[in-house]
Amino acid sequence: GNSVTQMEGPVTLSEEAFLTINCTYTATGYPSLFWYVQYPGEGLQLLLKATKADDKGSNKGFEATYRKETTSFHLEKGSVQVSDSAVYFCALSDQGGGSNYKLTFGKGTLLTVNP
Amino acid sequence: SQTIHQWPATLVQPVGSPLSLECTVEGTSNPNLYWYRQAAGRGLQLLFYSVGIGQISSEVPQNLSASRPQDRQFILSSKKLLLSDSGFYLCAWSGPGILELGELFFGEGSRLTVL
């Protein structure tokens, strides 16, 4: 079956620090990969996505590269801000792997950025 | 533009009482609809999804049920709540068809506490 494993949190950084949140996946078909973000008290929203190997998704200074050889999709940002404090979820959809209508999410990583 | 509403936002219920959470989507037709539960330390768990009126797929056997009486309405119910049903419930929608591009649009969530 499909699964997503992301690094355990919480992650606490100072403003302007470099961020990496690791994500690896297992899929039986041809996955597309996503990062969602959940700000305090809100629902999730899509942050970025990549639909095939070697694609790089980017948004709001965040980046992630779809690495098929290492089955990874690590999230990075060069300089975090206090407003980036949130829970980050890695997810996949697996066309042809029995998951045409749903996403599989990781457990989420809480990021806290201090001023 | 499309919007999603779910209610109530907060609910405190005694063990054994019934539950009804409602979700409606506006501005789109024939969406895929989803119920997720977010419990502390357990990430995001897909409970039900629906690709059309009256069509419900259940992901996790439990004492919850879902119904889709209208195209843009999705209801989560229980006849008798358990303590373990406490959590943050999120409704989401996506465009019709397979989830190739993976974008789900989430509501703001309903926090359920069972005492």
Give the nearest partner residue to A101 out of B32, B44, B108, using CB atoms: B32
SS3 B2: coil
Q: Percent of chain B scored above 90 by pLDDT?
A: 67
Tell me the pLDDT tens digit for each residue of A46-96. Answer: 999 998 899 999 999 999 999 999 999 999 999 999 999 999 999 988 765
State the residue for tokens 């502390």.
Answer: B40
Q: Where are the alpha helices (DSSP H) in A1-115?
A: none
pLDDT at residue number B62: 78
Tell me the pLDDT tens digit for each residue of B26-69. Answer: 998 899 999 999 887 668 888 999 989 999 988 876 789 999 99
d(CA B69, CA B84) in angstroms, rounded, equals 27
Give the nearest partner residue to B100 out of A32, A42, A46, using CB atoms: A32
The mean pLDDT value of chain B amounts to 90
Minimum distance, in Å, between the CA of residue A106 and any CA atom of chain B:
6
Pairing between strand B32-39 and B87-94? Answer: antiparallel
> A42 contacts in B (CB within 8 Å)?
108-109
d(CA B37, CA B48) in angstroms, rounded, equals 10
